[in-house]
Amino acid sequence: MHISEGVLAVPVLLAGAGVTVIGLGIGLKKIDAKKVPEVSLLSATFFVASLIHVPIGPSNAHLVLNGLLGVLLGWGAFPAIFIGLFLQAILFQFGGLTTLGINTANMAIPAVVFGILAKRFISLKHPIFSSVILGILSAVALFFAGLLVALSLWFSGKSFLLASKLILLAHIPIAVVEGIITAGIIRFLLKVKPEIFGLMDKDIKGFME
Amino acid sequence: MFIRFLLKDFLWIRSFFLMPLFLLCFNVSSYAHRVNIFAWFDGEKVNGRAYYSNGIPARDARIDVFSKKAERLYSLKTDHNGRFSFDPKGKDTLKLVLNAGMGHRATTVISTGLKAKKVQKGSNGDIYPLKNSNKSLTKDTPCNLSLKDIDSLLQLRLTPLEKEIERLSMDSGRITFKDILSGFGYIMGIMGLWLYFLSRYQSKKTR
A165 vs B: CB within 8 A: no
Sorted by where each starts, the structural domains of chain A and their CATH numbers stand as 10-208 (1.10.1760.20)
- Cβ atoms of A147 and A161 within 8 Å: the answer is no
Kindly identify which residue of chain B lies nearest to residue A80, measuring between CA atoms.
B187
pLDDT digits (tens, 9 = 90+) for A33-70: 888 988 999 999 999 888 877 665 555 578 888 889 99
Contact assignment for B195 to A6 by CB distance below 8 Å? no
Contact call for A52 and B34, based on CB within 8 A: no
B contact test, residue of A47, A92, A196 with most B CBs within 10 A: A92
* The pLDDT value given to residue A100: 93
**Radius of gyration over every alpha carbon of chain A, rounded to an integer in angstroms:** 17
DSSP result, A92-132: I--S-STTHHHHHHHHHHHHHHHHHHHHTT--SSSHHHHHH
Give the pLDDT confidence of A103-128 residue by residue, as tens digits: 999 999 999 999 888 888 887 777 88
Tell me the pLDDT of chain A averaged across its residues. Answer: 83
**Residue A104: what pLDDT?**
94
Q: Which of residues 77-116 of B touch A (CB under 8 A)?
A: 99, 101-107
Contact residues, B window 143-162, toward A, CB-based 8 Å cutoff: none
pLDDT in tens, B158-181: 877 877 887 787 777 677 788 888
pLDDT score of B68? 83
C-alpha distance from A33 to closest chain B C-alpha (Å): 6
* Res A50: pLDDT: 81
ipTM for the predicted complex = 0.79
Share of chain A above pLDDT 90, in %: 29
Q: Do B104 and A94 touch (CB under 8 A)?
A: no
In B, minimum Cα distance to A47 occurs at B183
- Residue A207: band (very low, low, confident or very high) from pLDDT cuts 50, 70, 90: very low
Q: Which DSSP category does B57 fall into?
A: B
Q: Is B176 on the interface with A (CB under 8 A)?
A: no
- Cβ-nearest to A149 among B24, B103, B184: B103
DSSP-derived 3-state class of residue B1: coil
Spell out the domain ranges in chain B: 35-135+154-172
Class of B35-135+154-172 per CATH?
A: mainly beta
Q: Give the C-alpha separation, A29 to A24, whole Å.
A: 8
pLDDT, tens digit (0-9, with 9 covering 90-100), for B107-157? 888 877 655 444 444 444 444 444 444 555 566 666 677 788 888 888 878
